Amino acid sequence: MFKTVVAFANGSGGSLVFGIEDETKLIKGLPGKPSEQRRRLTDLARDLVSPSPRVSIEAGDIDGRHLLVLHVQPGGGTIHALIVDSNKPEYYVRRDGTTFYARPDELQAVAARAGDAGAGTTTPRIRPRR
């Protein structure tokens, strides 16, 4: 999942929804306390992606099931990496809705976007928790 966070930050941004089953697309909801899930997601994004991407987390309910949406903003020319092994940063991009290892020319394109903050990007919203 954090490969995709890196790819979103290296590209046009994007959102990940937590609490929906990948294969079936059924709304399952998240277990545990929403505040703990939110904090854990924030900590993981900060610890595993360098530099830390600009993210926001939205909590909400659909049919009484708790969901989190992680919105990742475009990096605006900053190259982001997944840091699982501190000696081997991993760079990713999105192509046609799929996350791939970034090629050198793709990293050059990311760096060339410096100053482009992704104007016109919108993020979907879910119904806020009450």
80-104: buried (b, 16+ CB within 10 Å) or exposed (e) per residue? bbbbeeeeeeebbbbeeeebeebee
pLDDT tens, the chain, 130 aa long? 899 999 999 999 999 999 999 889 899 999 888 889 999 999 999 999 999 999 999 998 888 899 999 999 999 899 999 999 988 999 999 999 899 999 999 999 999 887 554 444 444 555 565 5
- Give φ, ψ of 90 to 5 degrees: -115, 130
Output the pTM of the full model.
Answer: 0.82
Beta bridge partners of 89: none
For every residue of 31-56, DSSP letters joined together read -S-HHHHHHHHHHHHHHHEESPP-EE
Per-residue tokens: 87: 């000696």
